Amino acid sequence: MCGRFAQVLSRIILQVLYRLEVSGELAPRYNIAPSQHALVLRLNPHDGTREVAPLQWGLIPGWVRDERSANKPINARAETVEQKPYFREAFLRRRALIPASGYYEWKKENEKKQPYLIRSKNEHPFSMAALWERWEQEGKVRETFAILTTAADGMLAELHDRMPLILPAETYDCWLHRDTPAAKLQALLQPYPATDLVTYPVSTIVNNPVNDTPECLQPVS
């Protein structure tokens, strides 16, 4: 699964990675948790241009009556996303990418849960496949997202049997384009090679989402 991640990104990195203009500098986030906002790359719903927008983590479909009692899932299983009513429309019409410096997973060791950071070997950010939705009622607006997950590959399966669906750069256009056929989308729902990632234990300060500091990313012995 993916229940916590980091976004330590520069404006230049986003511009190069996603081929779009980004204004201003970006505040680093070291420990993003569900219900918090994160940067999401999507196609602007009005003009179809690429944009990076802050959306809330925990999906709320537009047809939900009461957003307070909504389910708000943070993940969607890639294997069933097209069949599930909660995700189907977003999968076909509102796909997005989440730029991430890494994500966290926990492993039980000596009766305690040890957090690990998973990041790319080259330390470049990667992109997690996501869905987004807009909920609006009585003047209230919520734009939210959920991250797709797939079966964990290789060494990552030792931490958890699920991992975020990470997409290679050459698939971004296909994933984001509104008219991509469902069959082509399904072909993209494959585990990312674990050989391109590294993982190491980090401090248990990550356990508390209040802690959002560079120490969260530092390896511990």
> Which tokens in the block code for residue 158?
């030792």
Task: Tell me if residue 174 is catalytic.
Answer: no
Catalytic residue among 105, 133, 143, 216: 105
Tell the residue number behind the tokens 């203009």, with chain if given: 21
Q: How far is CA 102 from the centre of its chain?
A: 10
Backbone angles phi, psi at 71, to 5 degrees: -65, -40
Closest CA to 125 of 218, 29, 55: 29
Catalytic residue among 2, 133, 143, 216: 2
Tell me which residue of 174, 169, 91, 163 sits closest to 130, measured CA to CA: 91
Residue 186 identity (one-letter amino acid): Q
Amino acid letter, residue 58: G
Q: Which residues have CB under 8 Å from 25's CB, separation 6+?
A: 10, 11
How is residue 4 written in tokens?
């916590």
Determine the Cα–Cα distance for residues 221 and 216; give it in Å rounded to an integer: 14
**CA 199/CA 118 separation, integer angstroms:** 4
* CA–CA dist 133, 183 (Å, integer): 22
Catalytic positions: 2, 105
